[in-house]
Amino acid sequence: MKLKSAIAYEEKWAEKWAEAKIFEADPKPGKPKIFICVPYSYQNAPLHVGHGFTYTRGDAYARFKRMQGYNVLFPWAWHWTGEAVAGTCERLKRGDQSVRKMLVEIDGVPEELLDKFTDPVFVTRYYTEENRETVKAMGLSIDWRREFHTTDLHPYYSKFIEWQYITLKNKGYITKGRHPVVWCPRCKSPTGDHDRLAGEGVSPEEYTLVYFKFGDAYLAAATLRPETIFGVTNIWINPNHEYVLIRADGKKLIVSEQAAYKLKNQIKVEILKKIPADELIGKFAETPLTGKHIPIFPADLVDPDFGSGVVYSVPAHAPYDYAGIIALKNNQERIRKYQLKELVESIKPISIIRVPGYGEFPAVEEVERLGITSDTDPRLEEATKTIYSKEFHEGVLKDNCGEYSGKTVSEARDLVKEKLIEMGLGGVMWELPEKVICRCGTETIVKIVEDQWFLKYSDPEWKEKVKEHIKNMNIYPEEARRWFLNVVDWLRDWACARKTGLGTKLPWDPDWIVETLSDSTIYPALYTISKYLNLGIIKPDQLNIDVLNYIYLGAGDPEKISSQSGIKEEILKQMREEFLYWYPVDMRISAKELVPNHLTFYIFHHVAIFEPRHWPRGIGVNGMLKIEGEKMSKSKGNFIPLKKAIEIYGADATRATLLLAAEDLDDPDWRDKNAREARNMLDVLIRICRDVVSANSNDYTRVDEWLLSTLQRKMKKITSAMEKLKTRTAFNEALYGLYNDWKWYIRRTGGRLGKAAEKFLEEWVKILAPFIPFTAEECWSMLGKSGFVSLEKWPEPREELINEDAELREDLLKNLMEDIRSITEVYGKPPKKIVIYVSSKKKRELLGKAIELKSLESKAALGNLIKWMIAEKLADKKKAPTLAKLMVDTLASLTSKYKEKTLLNVAENELEFYEESREFLEREFNANVEIYSEDQENIYDPRNKASTALPLRPGIYIE
């Protein structure tokens, strides 16, 4: 199971770290701590590069904080809770070939183990073993003494969950209720998205049943728009199907046969007798609320398989209904059969909703516009959607709607529904908007699960507390905060227990298992004490309610709890202390898909159970990984296990690729090309170390000053990016930013390394350590350093090494080179001779003057500068405007970065600096370089370029 990294030295360092136990964290009183964690992953598959992204960010942050001197706890665990593994095992047992194929080809499971993969416990254990190796190979700086997995298969995890749920129940956060699910009648279980052949993403919708009095019974019509009851003109039923009389909801109802069967799964239903459609058609029923008597008509638009099989007709606002009227009028045979001629003629649409953009009868308009004459025309679907959405958002009920007149459609909808139910003239029916077919081939229905346990996330007080806390947390990036607040607002009660799969039983109702997202909320607290159990200091059985209440809530008397539980009082107190030391979690890092569920639940549960001082302090959210621009999925065949990436590119190259891909909420994109490039860069780093070690560096030049100065600036930038979890910015600067500085330095010195080189490299390696720790360790040892770079002090910028003059000089040199290049490029031929003219001493005053004028009145500065130049005889009337403009532009590009004093300083010694750089320039351009001051005697100036010299912007002549 051991995996082999593509980078030879990685395994060595992983072993050394483990031997030295450098990531094991124990409380150190007085030393500031940081508790960092990432959500544990479900053990039904190998970890993939997407996991790797979040993990690497977490690890980089952990390593950064550790180097900054914090006592960092970064623990690990595995999620076994859930139903997915059991589902896969079932399918494998049934001989599903696609499962076999996926396991072998994508997940890399050895064929000979497949027989054992019918056992969920074996599967989760198998992946845990495999993934542990992957996490270790990735170089994550974990304290492995605290590891655990979930479910009652673990000796103490369920003790913890039982404590959590008893606590929640005692506090009133758990309730019992009913709950609609998509249900497969054959499998006798809920049909989740991944268990479907058709209907992905479809969830139950709530329809209102409206009861129309018919003799001593009621026709129950299902609708999404109960407010349209005021515009009803007739009822539709399907003439070719049987209806049934049922006893339900305390009365007799008439629905289609199929509907009766569906309703059975939702409410108590007793079927009394069959009623042929013919017995209903042509008769009248009474509309609730209005008391109007309306006729019952036949229509093909009615699908007895959908809803209740009874539809009430609102031709003014429902295109299907208007089309139904037209179709019926045109169907002479039916009219004759049921003798409906006059009745149908008398039907007139009743307008009840005012909506901008339409007249009296929106449905009539749409149907006529499209020229629809059949009530089964597929275009009716589109027309219905258009009007539904328009009326819902902009519609207002007219004066003929009783007490609802003047209300918006969206308001009236719920009010009418509630009123009908209250009066006993309405009910609820759940229905699927599209067919959902279970993987077993059976069509599913909506079932109401009774006695379902809920977490009461709807509780307003609970919500309020959570929101208040979210406002005070550190959330990166900031945009995520708004999202969290929104999720809290919209969160409803959560069905927190299941009947199947792995997990922990509800302590008060062992028929139920705590569901996967509900047993994974406060477990970071378990990390603070799991060490004691894993090391055998206490036994799992001793972890009873009182013990946990004491450790986590400080409740009870330790002496009594000690004698009751058999845990030494000293140990008990130590565990309490350890919890108090590490908690709260300072930073939890996760992908954004967990914002609407896990991360929000995580806050909810902490708020419910712990003291405010132990509520989560920070959350970092990141995007979701794509592969070569596409969503990663096993079915697409672009699934990349993390293990594989390590084997191909090595852990550090994988880490680098991931870190450079994105930050904040942006989705990172894994590209093979980038991974290979990252791999290259690591070699470059190693080579640089080798070169520096073998060089003897003595000189200390101005370029050395520059190198150290720019390093200090980069340190500042990288540090502040890391503090905000901007790992991409930080690593990009650390890797490429500093690399470019290094290249410039080598170029400037012509490869003769100065004193700064070694110092720079030393700091550079430290800065790289959180991101590519293996390579950093390797470099560190190559540099002859002892100990681990992982434990070195994070470099702090030293103000005294910042040298603005040196930085400006290098910038001027780069500008000069760019200008020379720009000229030669236009010229078309490489230069033979380059002449540089530095401005005269007198002209240097221009700089001071320009600065002065600019700060006084920026708008008039240019004009005044021109006048001043002419007055001071620095240029004639022809040239002064051009030069002045240039001066101002040059200044503008430099003032944002440099102090005025620096500009003046450097301008003072410009000539000297270019002289020093002559050799470099000659090398760069392979040409003779001459440097003059413009006011020097006997200068070589065939094209009169000396006069174009300005301070900080020399004149150039090229041959």
Partner RNA sequence: GCGGGGGUAGCCAAGCCUGGUCAAAGGCGCAGGACUGAGGCUCCUGUCCCGUAGGGGUUCGUGGGUUCAAAUCCCACCCCCCGCACCA
Residue (240 or 822) nearer to RNA, CB: 822
Q: Is 354 in the site for RNA (CB under 7 A)?
A: no
Q: Is 91 in the site for RNA (CB under 7 A)?
A: no
Q: Is 236 in the site for RNA (CB under 7 A)?
A: no
CB of 258 to RNA, least distance (A): 22
CB of 858 to RNA, least distance (A): 7
SS in 3 state form for 510-578?
Answer: EEEEECCCCCCCCCHHHHHHHHHHHCCCCCHHHCCHHHHHHHHHCCCCHHHHHHHHCCCHHHHHHHHHH
Provide the token pair at 725.
């979890």
Binding window for RNA (CB under 7 A); candidates: 66-74, 124-132, 670-678, 789-797:
670-678
696: buried, middle or exposed (CB in 10 Å: 19+, 13-18, 0-12)? exposed
883: buried, middle or exposed (CB in 10 Å: 19+, 13-18, 0-12)? buried
Interface positions, 27-46, toward RNA (CB under 7 A): 41-42, 44
CB of 259 to RNA, least distance (A): 21
Binding window for RNA (CB under 7 A); candidates: 425-433, 482-490, 603-611, 771-779:
482-490
Q: Is 216 in the site for RNA (CB under 7 A)?
A: no
Interface positions, 359-398, toward RNA (CB under 7 A): 389, 393
Q: Is 521 in the site for RNA (CB under 7 A)?
A: no
Residue (46 or 295) nearer to RNA, CB: 46
Residue (70 or 80) nearer to RNA, CB: 80
Q: Is 736 in the site for RNA (CB under 7 A)?
A: yes
Q: Using CB under 7 A, which of 12, 897, 899, 901 touches RNA?
A: 897
For the chain, give the longest Cα–Cα distance: 121
Q: Which residues lie closer than 8 Å to 866 by C-beta, 6 or more apart? A: 880, 881, 884
Q: Is 818 in the site for RNA (CB under 7 A)?
A: yes
679, 653 contact by CB (below 8 A):
yes
Measure the CA angle with vertex 701, ends 695 and 703; round to 5°.
Answer: 90
Give the number of other Cβ atoms within 10 Å of residue 825's Cβ: 9
String marking each residue 822-851 x if it binds RNA according to CB under 7 A: xx-xxxx-----------------------
Query: In 704-756, where do the E strands start and end?
Result: none
Q: Using CB under 7 A, which of 419, 498, 614, 714 touches RNA?
A: 498
Interface positions, 43-62, toward RNA (CB under 7 A): 44
Residue (190 or 295) nearer to RNA, CB: 190
Q: Using CB under 7 A, which of 106, 665, 693, 802 touches RNA?
A: 665
Q: What φ, ψ does residue 168 adopt, rounded to 5°? A: -60, -40
Q: What is the dihedral of CA 678, 681, 685, 687, to 10 degrees?
A: 130
Q: Is 896 in the site for RNA (CB under 7 A)?
A: yes
Cα–Cα distance for residue pair 915/909, rounded to 1 Å:
10
Interface positions, 690-709, toward RNA (CB under 7 A): none
Q: What φ, ψ does residue 777 adopt, rounded to 5°? A: -65, -45
Token pair 């970071």 in the structure block, residue: 524
Query: From the DSSP assignment, how many helices (H) and strands (E) are in the chain?
Result: 35, 35
Q: Is 274 in the site for RNA (CB under 7 A)?
A: no
CB of 781 to RNA, least distance (A): 21
Residue (491 or 603) nearer to RNA, CB: 491
Q: Is 119 in the site for RNA (CB under 7 A)?
A: no
Q: Is 352 in the site for RNA (CB under 7 A)?
A: no
Q: Is 493 in the site for RNA (CB under 7 A)?
A: yes
Residue (708 or 816) nearer to RNA, CB: 816
CB of 54 to RNA, least distance (A): 12
Binding window for RNA (CB under 7 A); candidates: 223-231, 545-553, 576-584, 812-820:
812-820
Binding window for RNA (CB under 7 A); candidates: 25-33, 96-104, 224-232, 485-493:
485-493
Alpha helices in 789-860 (DSSP H): 804-827, 845-856
CB of 956 to RNA, least distance (A): 4
Q: Which residues lie closer than 8 Å to 915 by C-beta, 6 or more apart? A: 931
Q: Is 195 in the site for RNA (CB under 7 A)?
A: yes
Of 349, 355, 348, the C-alpha closest to 398 is 355
Of 231, 379, 221, the C-alpha closest to 317 is 231
Say whether 607 sits in a helix, a strand or coil: helix
Residue (194 or 690) nearer to RNA, CB: 194
Q: Is 65 in the site for RNA (CB under 7 A)?
A: no
Interface positions, 167-186, toward RNA (CB under 7 A): 179, 181-182
Number of residues engaging RNA in binding (CB under 7 A): 99
Binding window for RNA (CB under 7 A); candidates: 113-121, 373-381, 679-687, 779-787:
679-687
- Sign of torsion, CA 907 908 913 915? positive
594-607 burial by CB neighbour count: b if 16+ within 10 A, else e?
bbbebbbbbbbbbb
Q: Which long-range contacts (CB under 8 A, 24 or more apart) does 727-731 make?
A: 727/56, 727/57, 727/60, 727/61, 727/659, 727/663, 727/771, 728/659, 728/660, 728/661, 728/662, 728/663, 729/663, 730/60, 730/771, 731/60, 731/656, 731/659, 731/660, 731/771
Interface positions, 910-939, toward RNA (CB under 7 A): none
Interface positions, 314-333, toward RNA (CB under 7 A): none
CB of 826 to RNA, least distance (A): 4
Binding window for RNA (CB under 7 A); candidates: 591-599, 636-644, 776-784, 845-853:
591-599
Interface positions, 543-582, toward RNA (CB under 7 A): none
Interface positions, 624-663, toward RNA (CB under 7 A): 624, 629, 631, 662-663
Interface positions, 439-458, toward RNA (CB under 7 A): 449, 452, 457
Token pair 């290979």 in the structure block, residue: 676
CB of 21 to RNA, least distance (A): 30
Say whether 799 sits in a helix, a strand or coil: helix
Q: Is 198 in the site for RNA (CB under 7 A)?
A: no
263, 272 contact by CB (below 8 A):
no
Interface positions, 597-616, toward RNA (CB under 7 A): 597-598
769, 776 contact by CB (below 8 A):
yes
Q: Using CB under 7 A, which of 155, 192, 282, 881 touches RNA?
A: 192
Provide the token pair at 27.
């409380």
CB of 679 to RNA, least distance (A): 9
Of 9, 22, 16, 5, the C-alpha closest to 144 is 22
